[in-house]
Structures are given as C-alpha cells and as structure tokens.
Structure 1
Amino acid sequence: MPINETLSQYSDYSYTTAAAIYVLALMFALIEQGFGAKGRLAAERSKQKARELVGAGGPPVSTGTTVTPSEPPREVGRPERIGRMGAALLVLAALLHLGAIVLRGLAVHRAPWGNLYEYGMATTFIAVVTWIVIMRKFPVRHLTGFLLLPVVILMFVNGTMLYQIAAPVQPALQSYWLVIHVSAAIIGSGVFLVPGVASVLYLFRTAHDDNPAKFAKFGPKLPAADVLDRIAYRTTIFAFPIFTFGVLCGAVWAEAAWGRFWGWDPKETVAFVAWVVYAAYLHSRATAGWRGKRAAIINIVGFSATVFNMFFVNLVTSGLHSYAGG
C-alpha cells in the first residue's frame, strides 16, 4: 500500500509539538524542584529528627498513645501550582507523543518501529509513561525534570540526526517478529531509563546523607534514599523479564532470517552485555552485601549500556542490524 504522506506529516507535527511541551514541562518541574516546599519540608523533618535523637535522654515511655511531631501547615504555593501544571503538560505531551506513533503506523501501514527514528520515538514514550505511573505511586513529581532531561535530549537527537521519512521497511524486517521482538526491546529499554535516573539520584542522596556538607542545597530536596532505591528496583524487576523475552525472540528471529541464533553482531553483543549487567543488579539487590551504592552503580552501568546500544551502535558500528538506521 502507498505511504500516506498526510498522516506522516501530522505524525511529525505531533512529535515536534510533544517535544516542545516536554521542554516546557521540564522547566516547570525544575521550578518546583528548586523553589517548592517539598525540599524544605524534607530538610526540616531531617533536622527535627536529629534534634529528637540528640535530646532523648532515655528510651521513650509508652503512654498508650502515639505522639507525632507537628509539621508545618501544608500550603500549596506558587512553585507547587507550577509543578502541577508541569505534570498536566507532561500528560498532554505524552498523548501527543502517542498520537505521533499511531499516525506514523497508519501512514506506513505497519508497526511504527521499523527504523531507528521510530524506535527512539517509541522508547522515549515508554519512558514517559513509566514515569507518569511512578508519580501516581510515589511523591516524586518534583523530580520530573531529571527524567525529562534525558528524554528531551534523546528526542532532539532522534528528531534531527536520526529522522527517517515514512517508507516501507527493508525485506529483512517484513516479519511478524518485528512486532514481537522490537516491541519487547522498546518496552524494556524505555522502562530502563527510569531506574537509571533514580539510581543517579540515589547516589546524590546517599552522598548527602553520609556527609551533609555534600550537595547541601540539592540533597535534602530529594526523596529518602530508600524511596529512590525502591523505584529503581521495582522498575528494573518489571523491565528485565520483558527485555529478556526480547533478546530471546531476537535470537529466534535471527535463526529464521540468517540461519543462526547468535552471531556476535555489535548490537547483539551490547544487548547481551546490558542483560548481564541488569541480571547482576537484580542479583546484587538480593544479596545483602551488595545493596545500596554498589547496586545503584551497577544499574547506572546498565542504563549507560542501554543508551549506548540505542544510538552509538547503530550510528557508528556496522553490522547486521545497521539497516535499522536507514
């Protein structure tokens, strides 16, 4: 079937508009992060807890009632309102992002991830959707800017350096495995962006907890280290089986297309390295001696390998997967 140029153009418009709104949501999130009350309240709670520990002369006496320290009244200031606006813009941009993917698929009459541009468009969308779900479960809305920063950078690179006009895929990709294998890789890679960011923030938070002089203005505004650790772990443990399924499906597809399950192609190799790193992370989280900073560093290495595999391998190296870039 011929390519629908009109729908393809609308897809490009939706993608560009979504990227612009993401930038605006990023700015709003940074305002809330920098000037909002969450960081100040977290710092005050930490100081209050420290004063209680220092002033305690003995074990607490049970009186049958639970006494909780009073907290400052919860006021919704201008930074918080701006943060809510940023969250609303994030949802709006995600809908436009989804529209760009759907319109691209309708324009080319196939799954809309047949080249590197389409792959990057879908992967960044999954990362944003994952973060929206995380915001509903954890009080981390003010950290949205840290997730949107890599998303915006990836979308800019994707929409400029990696852009491909709507066209049919090459014969090697004309298979039902395009839907199964690539979609699993997209979901896994997109979700992996979230624990990567959470692990970086975890290192900042623990560095401040160990030495309050470090990151004195930034550290207290981050959630507790255990919250960031839970976000990283839960998102990784969700994405890892999907990513594993994608790697296995890729091997089956390779055997059908090229007559071998594994050929140490650059993209295959880096994907396997990333899989090993994330497996090591989950193993380290299950081992008491490797929790905390060591596990976070391993997760960051896996995040780096995922981004490296998404872009550098396709742009610089040559292999059987090079057709995905064109």
Structure 2
Amino acid sequence: MDIDPELARLSDLSFQTTFAIYVLAMLMFAGQYASSQVKKSQQRELIGAPVAGEGKPGIKLSPQQAKRSWFEKFGGMGYALVVIGAGFHLASIVLRGLSTDRFPLGNMYEFVSAMVLTAVVSGLIIVRKREHRPLWIFILVPVVLLVFLAGTVLYADAAPVVPALRSFWLPIHVTLAVLGSGLFLVAGVASVMFLFRVRRPEGEEGSGFLGGVADRLPSAQTLDRIAYRSTIIAFPVFGLGVILGAVWAEAAWGRFWGWDPKETMSFVTWVVYAAYLHARATAGWRDVKAAWINVVGFLAIVFNLFFINMVVSGLHSYAGLN
C-alpha cells in the first residue's frame, strides 16, 4: 500500500493548525469568562437602557463597563474559532485517510484525534446557546491537552495498518467507540462543573476566587441537563460498539469474549454509565450522587484509553484501540 507523503504532510499541517486555533479559542473564552463579573443587579440595570450620546437621554457606560462589554465579544469570537478549528481538524483526519488509502482510525494518534473532534462537534451542538458559552473554557482544556498529547506522545507517521485491522469491522466498531467517547468527554466536563456549581446555588454571591469562578458558570440545572443529554446519546452508541467489538472478536479470534483487558474495561465503563442513567432516574440519587457516577465513568474512559492501551498487555495492544 503506497503512502502519499504530500497528503500526509498536509494532514499534519492541518492538525498543527487545529491545535493553534483551539488554543486561541480557549484564550478567547478565558477572556470572556474573566470579564463576566457583572452582578445580576447591574446587568438588569444596563439591559434595555439607552446609552448616552445617541441623541436621547440615558446612562453612560463607565470605562470599566465598556471594557467589560468589549470582553464579552470574546465569547462569540471563541465560538467562531472553535468552528474553524473543527473544520481544520476534520481536514486533518480526511487527509490522513487519503494519504494512507485506509480508514483513518488505525492507531492511538488517529483514535484520540477523532475522539476529540467528536467532543468538539458535540459541544458545538449541545453547548451552542450564548448563555452556556462559559462552559466552553472547561471543554477546551481537555481538548487542547488531548490534541497536544496526540500530536506529540501519541503521534504516528502515516502508514498502513497491521493485517489484523484490515477488516470492514474497523470503521464500524472503532467509529462507534470514537463517537461514544467524544460525547462522554462533554458529559464528564459538564458533570464536573455541575458538582462545582451546585455548591454555589444561583443567586448566592461567591466569595474568594473559587466562589467567583462558580458564579460565572451556567446554572447547576443547565449543567446537569447538558451532562444527561450527552450521556443518553453516547450510552447506546458506546454499548453498540462494545457488542460489535465482540462480534469482530469472534470473527478474528474465534470467541466473542475472552476477558481481554481492553474489552473488559470497556464493558465496565458501559456498566458505570448504565448506573449513572439509573441513578439519574432514581429519587435521592439524581443530582450530586448521579453526577459523581458520571465523573467515575469519564475517568474509566481515560483509564481505558491510556493505561489499558499503553501499559497493560493484551490482544488489543498492537493498535492501542478497539
């Protein structure tokens, strides 16, 4: 199988551009987040009031308020940058596939890249409202970290996959795992911030740095709803990926289940998320306790992705995924 070095180079360049854009978007959202310190009483005072100097009487914005209003535009610019970054990110994955003439999910670098793109696109859909945008700074932190790790520690040159992965099951099974994992990333971030936000109910003024950070988050109910919506979509997708992985295992290794570390941890992760959904529908568990279970599920995803793939030896060790 021939490799097109020019397309591979363009894929790498697109990926590097993606990283730079995501970092810039994170800085934009950080600027918006840092500027959102206006108390709600001050916001109500400014909303709908005419501004002096427009030919009619009204309030005059102080230099501090004008600067704060300018900083609020960072959120819109950050969101636009995320959209652009997602475009470059998709281009890097497509170009990698074209350069190798195969489905671009054959190693850890490609898997993590596709998982992060899924998380970003999911975030653009689920966290699209203007009032929810403060959450983006916390989504982009793991996104930027994973893109950096993919481009450095996990990077692999464009090359054919090992013979064991030359199967029509690769794009089916691994794509489902990518989609589920990316959605779980958004859900995990939302649950972490829910646990942070629920300690500071809406309307209660924060004190100190941590209180100020909590006050700028969306409401606890909003964060909980984002986590639940992401998980309810990811759960069946990830579960179907586990089931079809067992079907592929039977075709490749002659058994549906062999307690391989990767498949076992994937099943455990799926069970944890099943427990979250059950807790979310159970009185007395649906708030803080359920959120903690969702966080445990996300930690299981991370553990499965890095520790099981890179440390534990098993039948999946040749590719670092599935």
Q: CA deviation at 1:213?
A: 4.9
User: Which of 142, 147, 169 is the aligned partner of 1:177?
Assistant: 169
Residue 280 of structure 2 is aligned to residue 280 of structure 1: no
Q: CA deviation at 1:265?
A: 1.2
TM normalised by structure 1 equals: 0.88
1:230 paired residue number:
225
Native 8 Å contact 1:116 1:324 kept in 2: yes
1:73 paired residue number:
47
Residue 107 of structure 2 is aligned to residue 95 of structure 1: no
Native 8 Å contact 2:119 2:182 kept in 1: yes
1:310 paired residue number:
305
Question: What are the superposed Cα offsets for residues 96-150 of structure 1, whole Å, 9 maximum, x if unpaired?
Answer: 0000000001111111001111001100000000111123257211221100000
Residue 42 of structure 2 is aligned to residue 40 of structure 1: no
Structure 2: distance between partners of 1:245 and 1:44: 49
Native 8 Å contact 1:196 1:300 kept in 2: yes
Letter in 1 for 2:227: A
SS at 1:289 equivalent: coil
Q: Percent identity?
A: 55
Structure 2: distance between partners of 1:170 and 1:293: 44
Native 8 Å contact 1:117 1:325 kept in 2: no
Structure 2: distance between partners of 1:254 and 1:238: 25
2:137 paired residue number:
145
Q: CA deviation at 1:291?
A: 1.0
Structure 1: distance between partners of 2:143 and 2:183: 12
Residue 314 of structure 2 is aligned to residue 323 of structure 1: no
Residue 1 of structure 2 is aligned to residue 6 of structure 1: no
Structure 2: distance between partners of 1:199 and 1:122: 22
Native 8 Å contact 1:120 1:154 kept in 2: yes
User: Which of 236, 257, 261 is the aligned partner of 2:256?
Assistant: 261
Aligned length: 300
TM normalised by structure 2 equals: 0.89
Q: CA deviation at 1:77?
A: 1.3
Q: CA deviation at 1:209?
A: 2.2
Question: What are the superposed Cα offsets for residues 13-40 of structure 1, whole Å, 9 maximum, x if unpaired?
Answer: 000110111001001101101113xx53
- Runs of 5+ consecutive residues of structure 1 not aligned to the other structure: 49-69
Structure 1: distance between partners of 2:45 and 2:125: 28
Structure 2: distance between partners of 1:140 and 1:31: 15
Native 8 Å contact 2:134 2:218 kept in 1: no
Residues 138 and 320 of structure 1: CA distance in aligned 2, closer, same or farther (over 3 Å)? farther
Letter in 1 for 2:196: F
User: Which of 93, 105, 111 is the aligned partner of 2:103?
Assistant: 111
- Runs of 5+ consecutive residues of structure 2 not aligned to the other structure: 49-65
1:23 paired residue number:
23
Native 8 Å contact 1:117 1:164 kept in 2: yes
